[in-house]
Chain A
């Protein structure tokens, strides 16, 4: 099972509603994934500043950590987003690794913030205050665990690089072999999870200079199993279904947004859905949308 929801706004006047709409979509997908949930949301950034999303055990004092480094922070339950001037990012990562091994860097990027937790999707979204978040696009996932344990680390999305994330519905059968190969390419893994391997594969391809759509094409040959992948980037997102396409996927497009749901149910509350162009993404075909400066979507 598992459920995927993403929403990409073309109409910027809807941006204040992004979090609320995404939270609604995730709650509907509880039946497809009651074990854990997570989301990546692309929000306002500042030039020259990296947002670093962190997770720590309950009770960790993020405010003190931020104060010690003289950095602005937004704390949301057991996650926090630090705003770090780019030149200081590497040093901060090193300091966290040395002094705070209990803190996990969940993601980093100019605009992406990433949160995930164990529990029902509506509860997870509430803990992080998703409904109050504004942004341009968001990707959410509700997980029914199959290939690895129900843990926060096994929850989706997985970050694949700066401002990049991946969610997955399905399971991969060659992830152990692929993980070994990627480890030889210096890709680091934190879990035994199959989706993290797909994320690592894309990270590797991107590091080697591939464009995201080309990396997704390569995934068709390299990854064995069944999957619907959705990847997010700073300016857009991509969709790929495996050639057999067992895992459901429905998309809706209007003048205001492009949206994806594992099922139509997840889209039913979106504004103007009755007049949206509804379609199923074809198997083994890479779909990619990007928002350009002018706000156009391609």
Chain B
């Protein structure tokens, strides 16, 4: 498995968003074939722009020098994207594979609906981190906001700090690993026993994220599975 330790090549191709339009950048990146020799990119002056480096399907390294806006690295399928700054809402939303690495903080809905790959956030993530995640691995080295892991279906959400209110509300089969404290657990989210296999998987994931936190310091949360089927006692609520 790839880890975030690999760094982009020194002779990266430069693209200055202060001089050329975003559409030109995304068109170039999306046209890359898996065999392309243009394997390293460096993007200057992102200035909080939206949808930077979305829909890339080639295994290239892309470094973005500054803060980005909405949906950076969305639908990523194989690229290794590093954001040297904060990320706006929906970073790496619907990622399929690859790595998105945020050096700063991420806004709300980081990794939303993502099917695969690895999202690493060095700072904090705001509300709804990993909402409806479908297989992605997310490692947040800081804390996450409220409603994180809402309706998370599969994959792993690792939180090295604390979690806001309603962690894992209406959770399906994703694993949530929390080192700090949760302000509250959401409906149907409960603490689970950590098996040796789960602990080993967490340790491997922390290594990939270049995170030195002790796996033994985390607690595992998962679905109590009481919301999977309609319970007739609740009929009166509708």
- Whether B146 contacts A283 by the Cβ 8 Å rule is yes
Q: What residues of B have a CB within 8 angstroms of the CB of A265 in the complex?
A: 47-49, 69
Is A264 engaged at the interface, CB distance under 8 Å to the other chain? Answer: yes
Instruction: Please encode chain A, from 265 to 278, with 1 for each CB lying within 8 Å of some chain B CB and 0 for all others.
Output: 11110000010001
Nearest B residue (CB) for A268? B47
A274 vs B47: C-alpha distance when bound (angstroms): 10
B87 CB to closest chain A CB (Å) equals 9
Q: How far is the CA of A245 from the CA of B127 in the complex (A)?
A: 8
Which residues on the A side are within 8 Å of B70 (C-beta)? 263
Contact of A264 among B86, B126, B145, B146 (CB under 8 A): B86
Minimal beta-carbon separation of A260 from chain B (angstroms):
14
B145 to chain A, nearest CB (A): 8
Partner of A278, one of B49, B86, B89: B86
How far apart sit A245 and B145, CA to CA, in the bound complex (Å)?
10
B93 on the A face (CB < 8 A): no
Is B48 within 8 A of A264, CB to CB?
Answer: yes
Which residues of chain A (276-298) have a CB below 8 Å from chain B?
Answer: 278-280, 282-283
Q: A248 to B88, Cβ gap below 8 A?
A: yes
Min Cβ gap B146→A in Å is 7
User: What separation, in Å, do the CA atoms of A119 and B89 have in the docked complex?
Assistant: 27
Q: With the chains together, A274 CA to B126 CA distance in Å?
A: 21
Q: Check: B175 CB closer than 8 A to any chain A CB.
A: no
Contacting pair A248 B89 (CB below 8 A)? yes
The residue that B69 contacts in the complex, of A245, A263, A278, A282, with Cβ under 8 A, is: A263
Indicate whether B122 reaches chain A with its CB closer than 8 angstroms: no
B108 sits at the interface (CB 8 A): yes
A279 — which chain B residues lie within 8 A by C-beta?
Answer: 105
Smallest beta-carbon distance A262→chain B, Å: 10
Task: State the CA gap A139–B88 with chains docked (Å).
Answer: 22
Q: With both chains docked as a complex, state the minimum distance between the C-beta of A136 and any C-beta of chain B, in angstroms.
A: 26
Judge whether B107 is part of the interface by a CB distance below 8 angstroms. Answer: yes
